[in-house]
Amino acid sequence: MTHKGFTLWLTGMSGAGKSTIAEQLMAGFHAEQAKVELLDGDIVRTNLSQGLGFSREDRDTNVRRIGFVCEILSRNGVIAVVAAISPYRATRDEVKAKIENFVEVYVECPVDVLASRDVKGLYKKALAGDMANFTGISDPYEPPENPDVVIHSDTETLSESVDRIWRELERRELITRATDLPA
Amino acid sequence: MTHKGFTLWLTGMSGAGKSTIAEQLMAGFHAEQAKVELLDGDIVRTNLSQGLGFSREDRDTNVRRIGFVCEILSRNGVIAVVAAISPYRATRDEVKAKIENFVEVYVECPVDVLASRDVKGLYKKALAGDMANFTGISDPYEPPENPDVVIHSDTETLSESVDRIWRELERRELITRATDLPA
């Protein structure tokens, strides 16, 4: 596989499947010896945004910092994969405008499905009114208006989702593979 | 020129010449179409560390964030050039330990020379006791113990300084040039 530098940005609510998809993509990129970095919530909170909270201002600062790192990676031929709630449309669009090759993936999942999965027990708390600033419940989530890929993580398999993202990257000639996709 | 990914870290007091040297190096790298990013004080304060102050803790956080970005650039084949006071030895060493190819350049200049130049008028204020947390006067600067290159910006020309850095990069095979250095 050859590839250009680009940013693949996964946005969506907590528990929708961003990190799972990102890790699956990373495995594929690593198998192809691509130059690639994952910027997910934990990595970013530890290394770039320690001390920031969940106000709109702090969330925006966090997203802009991730965007800055993506920008300098992408323009030097490196793939940046982001898994971050990044709830505000205007801030995502601001980052998008700065990065030449930017692929926005909306990982969509209905709130009732998220609340029934509730892997971390957070939706229950938020729905009970015990969690301020919880995206999608007590804080806004603004879906992208024109995402490049929409993933419906409640109705499609992980491999279907990942496969659609690969195809979008190929279609835009951000990656070029010598052989066809495995069936 | 071919190059590996590496981090070239310029440390030294305010006004010692870190940014001037870094810009000269950047011009050289750009002329060779290298993959390279400059992380100097202004760029970093704007994009990664807005809101941090000048306490030891905040300075360390700033240096660690720069280090994180250098690490992911370097390991993907990109050159990261840093011009940052980075006054604390332990924190620089912590960053150095994480980065495979790390070149530490100490830009040295005696305080009395810095105070006599005083481009920004800061030394006068600091020496008069009107500036807290001013590195080298009211705040510590801990010189590197084993820097890879020491620049004496009071006694050597800019092109001599830059030339010595190029030679160190060549000696360590971080860059390889087809032709000899210009005289």
For chain B, what percent of residues have pLDDT higher than 70?
97
Q: Quote the pLDDT of residue B178.
A: 76
Say yes or no for a CB contact (<8 Å) between B68 and A61: no
Q: Is the pTM of this model over 0.90?
A: yes
CATH (one of 1.20.120.1200, 3.40.50.1970, 3.40.50.1820, 3.40.50.300) for B2-176: 3.40.50.300
Residue B181 pLDDT grade (very low, low, confident, very high; cuts 50, 70, 90): low
Q: Quote the pLDDT of residue A41.
A: 84
Tell me what the mean pLDDT of segment A143-162 comes to. 97
Residue A60 has pLDDT above 90, yes or no: yes
Sign of the alpha-carbon torsion through A98, A99, A100, A103: negative
In this structure, chain B runs to a length of: 183
Residue B183 has pLDDT above 70, yes or no: no
What is the CB neighbour count within 10 angstroms for residue B56? Answer: 13
Measure in Å the smallest separation between the Cα of A150 and chain B Cα atoms: 28
Measure in Å the smallest separation between the Cα of B127 and chain A Cα atoms: 33
Residue B169 has pLDDT above 60, yes or no: yes
| Cα A80 to Cα A99: distance, rounded to the nearest angstrom | 11
Q: Quote the pLDDT of residue B24.
A: 97
Measure in Å the smallest separation between the Cα of B35 and chain A Cα atoms: 6
Residue B141 has pLDDT above 80, yes or no: yes
Which stretch of B52-61, B83-92, B124-133, B173-182 has the lowest confidence by average pLDDT?
B173-182
- Tell me what ipTM this predicted complex has: 0.92
Residue A183 has pLDDT above 60, yes or no: no
A100-127: per-residue pLDDT in tens?
999 999 999 999 999 999 888 999 999 9
Q: Sort residue A90 into left (φ over 0), alpha (ψ -120 to 50) or beta.
A: alpha
Q: Quote the pLDDT of residue A182.
A: 56
Per-residue tokens: A24: 């699956």
Q: Quote the pLDDT of residue B180.
A: 58
Sign of the alpha-carbon torsion through A145, A149, A153, A156: positive
Residue B41: name the closest of B13, B57, B19, B61 by CA: B19
For chain A, what percent of residues have pLDDT higher than 70?
97
Residue B144 pLDDT grade (very low, low, confident, very high; cuts 50, 70, 90): very high
| Cα A111 to Cα B68: distance, rounded to the nearest angstrom | 35
Say yes or no for a CB contact (<8 Å) between B69 and A69: yes
Give the Cα-Cα-Cα angle A82, A33, A21 (nearest 5 degrees). 35
Single-letter residue type at A97: A
Tell me what the mean pLDDT of segment A5-21 comes to. 97
Note if A74 is an active site residue.
no
B48-106: per-residue pLDDT in tens?
998 899 999 999 999 999 999 999 999 999 999 999 999 999 999 999 999 999 999 99
Mutation site for B-interface testing, chosen from A45, A69, A74, A79 by largest number of B Cβ within 10 Å: A69
Residue A181 has pLDDT above 60, yes or no: no
CATH 3.40.50.360 corresponds to the domain A2-110+141-176: no
Q: Quote the pLDDT of residue B120.
A: 85
Question: Which residues in A lie closer than 8 A to residue B69 (C-beta atoms)?
Answer: 69, 72
A35-51: per-residue pLDDT in tens?
999 999 889 989 999 88
Question: Which residues in B lie closer than 8 A to residue A78 (C-beta atoms)?
Answer: 72-73, 76-78
Say yes or no for a CB contact (<8 Å) between B77 and A77: yes
